[in-house]
Amino acid sequence: MMKKEALIEDYTRVSLLHKDGEAIGVSIADMSDDETICGCNGIEKGVITNAIHAEGLTSIDEVTKVTKAGNSCGKCKGLIGQILEHTLGEDFVANKSTGICDCTDLTRDQIVTQIRAKGLKTSESVRQQLNFKDKHGCPKCRPALNYYLNMVYPFEHEDEIESRFANERYHANIQKDGTFSVIPQMRGGVTDAAQLIRLGEVAQKYNVPLVKVTGSQRIGLYGIEKEWLPKVWEDLGMRSASAYGKKTRSVKSCVGKAFCRFGTQNTTELGMKLEKTFEYIDTPHKFKMGVSGCPRSCVESGVKDFGVIGVENGFQIYIGGNGGTEVSIGQHLTTVETEEEVIRLCGALMQYYRETGIYAERTAPWINRLGFDNVKDVLLNPSRQDELFNRIMEAKQAVEQEPWSHILNDQSVKRIFEVEEVNV
């Protein structure tokens, strides 16, 4: 409707609630070819239909591979299936339950079990020893295998940078025009005058198109060319925020009782402690945390993977909250009295998620798959909690190095930012 600038008066009102079996919404047959099916990648119905005819596609996976529709959040795969069924009729092949990708029929658990049992320490050895159909792997299994190997062998496995997505390779978020955003670390969203002046000076020097406060309470510089990234990092002289990739992200926090008349706890300090304790650790998907000083929850702790709400007698802990295309409300795990208990519970949750999560699976579906009561029993069991926390602290030691400074000090790694000029 927005794309066509259609008048709302031309449309019929419908109920948002329907009984099973009732017709809802517009059918695929009624959709025009310029209707967007995959919002993440901007793929329209016509692009999918044309690809089905031109490439002889018969399954959702084939459509995704050719058009990229459904390759991000995956919420549109149901619509893709309907388009296939409408276009092909009886020739449509519904996706069957398979392995982690088309290269193998093995599930995540089977692969991780074999990695441990056979002592496999490279993605190549995994694909060879476990008889992957494509010995070179695909865009879906390469980053997954790299994650599983890093999780199992945090010190022995050499991270396979070529298997990571662009954001993780360049330690910056790629934008729609091919430029990048640079987001320096501001633990707990706290900054100072010197840091703000430095950001302003760098923004002026490189004529940065956009300087913006991010959703995670940081300040981002947007529109920076790839080859400029190391120079910008060097001029900033600041640490990287964990604002990209599938790993622990920056922690949002409110000012807490230090300034707010409703605050019950020192939430800014706790947020900074959480971020420092777990920064840069790889997780199956992004792992977001929020620390609010009172039940008003200004930082939306209820939709964070690990949410903390300060109350008079301590801290309420919520887990499995996710925002995005499918919002999930966090579930109350427990209430604890001290900051140390909060940090240990967070570490235990994160490590349990790391060890049992499917690559690219957020905590909400992970908890639904394992069962909230099961996750709760594990995390609140003192001995299990200690074991998990100790293991994530061991994993943290493998990622202590700040990524921007590491790249600046290693010329061989720095080469990926070089752009070769071609004279025509």
Task: Average the pLDDT over 246-257 and give the result.
Answer: 94
Q: Does the pLDDT at position 18 exceed 60?
A: no
Residues 341-386: tens digit of each pLDDT = 999 999 999 999 999 999 999 999 999 999 999 999 999 999 999 9
* Same domain for 203 and 76: no
Choose one of 66, 96, 126: the last residue of a domain.
96
* Same domain for 185 and 275: no
Q: Does the pLDDT at position 25 exceed 80?
A: no
Residue 4: inside a domain, yes or no? no
DSSP code of 117? H
One-letter identity of residue 129:
Q
Q: Which of 401, 400, 392 is nearest to 151 (CA)?
A: 392
Residues 385-407: tens digit of each pLDDT = 999 999 999 999 999 999 999 99
What pLDDT is recorded for position 391? 98
Q: Does the pLDDT at position 181 exceed 70?
A: yes
* Same domain for 120 and 232: no
State the pLDDT confidence band at 337, using cuts at 50, 70 and 90: very high
Residue 7: inside a domain, yes or no? no
* Same domain for 287 and 382: yes
* Same domain for 360 and 259: yes
Angle at CA 274, nearest 5°, toward 269 and 276? 95
Choose one of 119, 140, 164: the last residue of a domain.
164
Q: Which of 41-55, 77-91, 111-125, 212-226 has the lowest mean pLDDT?
A: 77-91
* Same domain for 252 and 210: no
Q: Which of 39-43, 258-262, 295-299, 335-339 has the lowest mean pLDDT?
A: 39-43
* Same domain for 384 and 256: yes
Average pLDDT of the residues of the chain: 90
* Same domain for 387 and 306: yes
Residue 188: inside a domain, yes or no? yes
Q: Which of 23-32, 37-46, 159-168, 192-201 has the lowest mean pLDDT?
A: 23-32
Residues 68-90: tens digit of each pLDDT = 898 777 778 888 888 988 888 87
- Domain count across the chain: 4
Cβ density class 396-411: b for 16+ within 10 Å, e for less:
bebbeebbbeebeeee
Residue 14 neighbours by CB distance under 10 Å: 11
Please name the residue that has the structure tokens 């995956």.
Answer: 74
Residue 309: inside a domain, yes or no? yes
Residues 98-153: tens digit of each pLDDT = 799 989 999 999 999 999 999 999 999 999 999 999 999 999 999 999 999 999 99
* Same domain for 153 and 185: no
> How do 248-253 and 287-292 pair as beta strands?
parallel
Residue 8: inside a domain, yes or no? no
Asked whether the beta carbons of 222 and 210 are under 8 A apart, the reply is yes
CATH of the domain at 87: 1.10.10.1100
Residue 79: inside a domain, yes or no? yes
What pLDDT is recorded for position 422? 62
Task: Average the pLDDT over 172-196 and give the result.
Answer: 95
Asked whether the beta carbons of 294 and 262 are under 8 A apart, the reply is yes
CATH of the domain at 304: 3.30.413.10
Give the dihedral of Cα atoms 252, 192, 168, 355; nearest 10 deg: -40
Joined together, the tokens standing for residue 257 give 């009782």
Instruction: Compute the distance between CA of residue 396 and CA of residue 212 in angstroms, rounded to an integer.
Output: 30
Choose one of 76, 96, 116: the last residue of a domain.
96
Angle at CA 285, nearest 5°, toward 380 and 370? 40
Instruction: Compute the distance between CA of residue 182 and CA of residue 404 in angstroms, rounded to an integer.
Output: 11
Domain that holds residue 198: 178-240+412-424
What pLDDT is recorded for position 23? 43
Residue 339: inside a domain, yes or no? yes
Residue 407: inside a domain, yes or no? no
Residues 276-319: tens digit of each pLDDT = 999 999 999 999 999 999 999 999 999 999 999 999 999 999 99
One-letter identity of residue 281:
I
CATH of the domain at 208: 3.90.480.10
DSSP three-state, residue 266: coil
* Same domain for 252 and 233: no
* Same domain for 344 and 293: yes
* Same domain for 336 and 199: no
Non-local CB neighbours of 297 within 8 Å, separated by 6+ positions: 290, 307, 309
Q: Does the pLDDT at position 2 exceed 70?
A: no
What pLDDT is recorded for position 24? 46
What pLDDT is recorded for position 13? 55
State the pLDDT confidence band at 424, using cuts at 50, 70 and 90: low
Q: Does the pLDDT at position 336 exceed 60?
A: yes
